[in-house]
Amino acid sequence: MSSGVILLVITILSVIIEITPIKFNPISLIGKVVNKDILNEIKKVNVKVDGVESKLDNHIVMSYRDDILQFQDKLLNYPNRTYTMEVWNHIISSCDAYDKYVTDNHISNGQVTEAIIFIKGCHQKALNDRRITNLKGDAA
């Protein structure tokens, strides 16, 4: 017999046995086994997704950290340079996002914390001295 005929016979027998009042329900049994396998696969996928999510969070935070430390370096090495409002908005936004992540996750990082304080102080001084420009080069 071909596999198609065998499958048809098993299907018909399963339906007949399922309909009759017998405690053994092959379709329900197959459904439970398949459901269990599917749930196990979903759990495996969830573990992998959690790992990817954790790596992505770490990458984003490291990107903020790098932006902050590099901008602090620019401010230290080129103290008279004028930055646009867009640059300041970006770096202040990165500082706030990094600070929120560190606070939410109960992490401490003295180096970046000091850099943020320095950057925000320079930002305030640039605002007071009107040394912030817009994209056209005019004072903001």
pLDDT digits (tens, 9 = 90+) for 56-90: 888 888 999 999 999 999 999 998 888 999 999 99
Type of residue numbered 34: V
Q: ∠ CA 18-21-25 to the nearest 5 degrees?
A: 35
Q: Share the mean pLDDT of the chain.
A: 83
Q: Tell which wins on pLDDT, 28 or 139.
A: 28
Q: What kind and span of H or E run contains 83? A: strand 83-84
* Domain spans in the chain, listed from the N-terminal domain onward: 1-36, 56-140
Q: pTM score > 0.75 for this model?
A: no
What is the C-alpha to C-alpha distance for residues 35 and 39, in angstroms, rounded to an integer?
Answer: 6
Q: Which two tokens mark 14? A: 């399963």
